């Protein structure tokens, strides 16, 4: 059952307003700039500086919750994109021609591979040099992301950075296929018969789709950034902003894309890597090696990151070969198609592990944001009278275990259901579920790994172990 929120006149009026996006972006931009200033000028203690707490404990966890309920809403309010747009358009909300050179992005890079590589590189910096424990490095990463966003926005057309390069947007896009929110056309026939295609070219009411999508034919959330420009520009009032059941995109006969499948598998592998680097077995080694033999440590971490990525991809390749073999010689699906389609079934495992892992951080450290709001730089201020406020665990350890177990189980069941619908599709609805067997075995393996990681002691992000 789908519910079109645009049927509410008040909501529709807000979405159609050009002021809407600016108003939801402005608070995030203020916080983003505060993170940069606090990271550079504040004290280096990660537990007393708002830069590290707001970024790695609140934002990195909050963005997963945001996707769960509102899909790609982060892309709508993203401060990097907001600042880049304001600079390029020379306007906060009014429609302008902009000052971009509007170069074409190279054809061979019009895929998710740049975002996948960028994700691997940023993870190398984040976990390799422990950016999460450094307000200073956190600020420079934030500023570096802004610089790259503005540069690409000024040189290339539309939101090239968001569509092809941004790893956060790539993660949000893949996870958004699970979410209960979508923007779609009401009638594809109306879109086909439209002569002006304002949703692509733009008009006086708004910009053409900034991420090179054709809203009239969009059937997945992978690329949509919920910017609502198509709703503003459609002359036929043919767009919807709908609530829908979870997993809709991934159980509706989708074909998928190979570049997205590699991003999904990289997302799964690096999510597992994040969990591994929080375990005492790694942090004990890393804390000692980082200070005593830095280059040896960096080599070992690089090998560990490559190992996680390679193992996940190789496991999926083996899985795909087994599925292909189970389909028999008469199957119409080749190995690449099977590899691509079944990779999407692992999105819930990555997503719910990401959620279950980070909800522990949020519970143990999230409320530290309250005292640092009064003293964001760690200078001893008490702006709002909360500096001496003592954070506490909201959920508690016993309840936390139950919550994490539930989330991991939900991820496994969701993945199994997606694999089931995919299997029915490639076997043309025959009763044989033989291809499901290798998938379930692999899903159980990842379930065991994530369960083991979750129930080991975990080092928190606001307490540095580097000495």
Task: Give 282-306 as a DSSP string.
Answer: HHHHHHHHHHH-HHHHHHHHHHHHH
Is the per-residue pLDDT at 463 higher than 80?
no
> What is the predicted pLDDT for the residue at 466?
55
> What is the predicted pLDDT for the residue at 113?
98
What mean pLDDT is reported for the chain? 93
Q: Which of 27-36, 49-58, 329-338, 341-350 has the lowest mean pLDDT?
A: 329-338
Q: Would you say 327 and 346 are in contact if contact means Cβ atoms under 8 Å apart?
A: no
- Residue 121 CB coordination number (10 Å): 11
Instruction: Look up tokens 């190789």; give the residue.
Output: 314
pLDDT per residue as tens digits for the range 92-142: 999 999 999 999 999 999 999 999 999 999 999 888 888 888 999 999 999
Q: Would you say 144 and 193 are in contact if contact means Cβ atoms under 8 Å apart?
A: no
> What is the predicted pLDDT for the residue at 456?
86
Q: What percentage of the chain reaches a pLDDT higher than 90? A: 76
Within 8 A by CB and 6+ apart from 2, the residues are: 240, 242, 243, 244
Phi and psi at residue 243, to the nearest 5°: -95, 145
Q: Which of 33-37, 287-291, 421-425 has the lowest mean pLDDT?
A: 287-291
> How long is the chain?
467
Instruction: For Cα atoms 198, 203, 206, give the angle at the middle one, nearest 5 degrees.
Output: 100
- Residue 14 CB coordination number (10 Å): 14
Q: Where in the chain are the domains?
A: 3-250, 261-454
Within 8 A by CB and 6+ apart from 94, the residues are: 18
Q: Would you say 210 and 225 are in contact if contact means Cβ atoms under 8 Å apart?
A: yes
Q: Would you say 39 and 142 are in contact if contact means Cβ atoms under 8 Å apart?
A: yes
Mean pLDDT of the region 371-386: 95
Full-model pTM: 0.94
Spatial separation of the C-alpha atoms in residues 334 and 329, rounded to whole Å: 10
pLDDT per residue as tens digits for the range 1-10: 799 999 999 9
> What is the predicted pLDDT for the residue at 217?
87
Is the per-residue pLDDT at 363 higher than 60?
yes
Is the per-residue pLDDT at 16 higher than 60?
yes
> What is the predicted pLDDT for the residue at 467?
53
Q: How far is CA 247 from CA 253, 341, 352, in A?
A: 12, 14, 13
Q: What percentage of the chain reaches a pLDDT higher than 70? A: 98
């Amino acid at each position: 059952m789908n519910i079109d929120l645009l049927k509410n006149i008040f909501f529709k009026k807000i979405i159609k307003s050009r002021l809407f996006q600016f108003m939801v972006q402005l608070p995030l931009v203020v916080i983003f700039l505060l993170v940069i200033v606090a990271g550079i000028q504040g004290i280096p203690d990660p537990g007393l500086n708002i830069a590290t707490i707001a970024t790695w404990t609140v934002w990195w966890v909050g963005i997963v919750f945001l996707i769960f309920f509102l899909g790609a809403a982060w892309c709508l309010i993203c401060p990097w994109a907001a600042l880049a747009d304001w600079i390029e358009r020379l306007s906060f909300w009014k429609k302008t021609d902009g000052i971009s050179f509007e170069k074409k992005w190279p054809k061979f890079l019009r895929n998710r591979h740049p975002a996948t590589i960028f994700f691997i590189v940023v993870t190398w910096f984040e976990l390799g040099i422990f950016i999460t424990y450094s307000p200073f490095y956190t600020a420079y990463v934030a500023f570096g992301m802004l610089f790259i966003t503005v540069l690409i926005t000024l040189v290339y057309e539309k939101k090239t950075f968001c569509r092809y390069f941004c790893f956060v947007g790539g993660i949000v896009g893949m996870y958004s296929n699970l979410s209960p929110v979508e923007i779609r056309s009401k009638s594809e026939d109306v879109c086909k018969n439209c002569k002006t295609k304002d949703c692509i070219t733009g008009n006086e009411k708004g910009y053409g789709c900034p991420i090179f999508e054709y809203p009239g034919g969009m059937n997945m959330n992978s690329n949509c950034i919920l910017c609502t420009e198509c709703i503003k520009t459609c002359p036929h009032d043919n767009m919807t902003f709908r609530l829908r059941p979870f997993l809709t995109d991934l159980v509706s006969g989708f074909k998928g894309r190979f570049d997205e499948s590699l991003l999904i598998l990289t997302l799964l592998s690096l999510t597992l890597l994040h969990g591994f680097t929080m375990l005492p077995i790694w942090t004990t080694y890393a804390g000692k090696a980082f200070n005593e033999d830095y280059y040896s440590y960096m080599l070992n971490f690089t090998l560990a990151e490559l190992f996680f990525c390679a193992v996940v991809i190789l496991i999926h390749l083996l899985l795909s070969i087994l599925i292909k073999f189970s389909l028999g010689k008469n199957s119409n699906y080749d190995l690449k198609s099977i590899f691509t389609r079944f990779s999407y079934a692992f999105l819930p495992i990555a997503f719910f592990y990401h959620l279950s892992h980070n909800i522990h951080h949020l519970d143990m450290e999230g409320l530290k944001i309250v005292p640092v709001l009064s003293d964001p730089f760690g200078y001893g201020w008490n702006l709002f009278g909360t500096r001496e406020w003592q954070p506490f665990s909201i959920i508690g350890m016993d309840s936390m275990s139950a919550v994490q177990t539930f989330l991991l189980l939900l991820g496994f069941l969701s993945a199994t259901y997606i694999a089931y619908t995919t299997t029915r599709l490639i076997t043309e609805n025959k009763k044989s579920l033989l291809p499901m067997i290798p998938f379930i075995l692999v899903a159980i393996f990842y379930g065991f790994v994530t369960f083991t990681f979750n129930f080991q002691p975990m080092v928190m992000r606001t307490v540095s172990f580097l000495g």
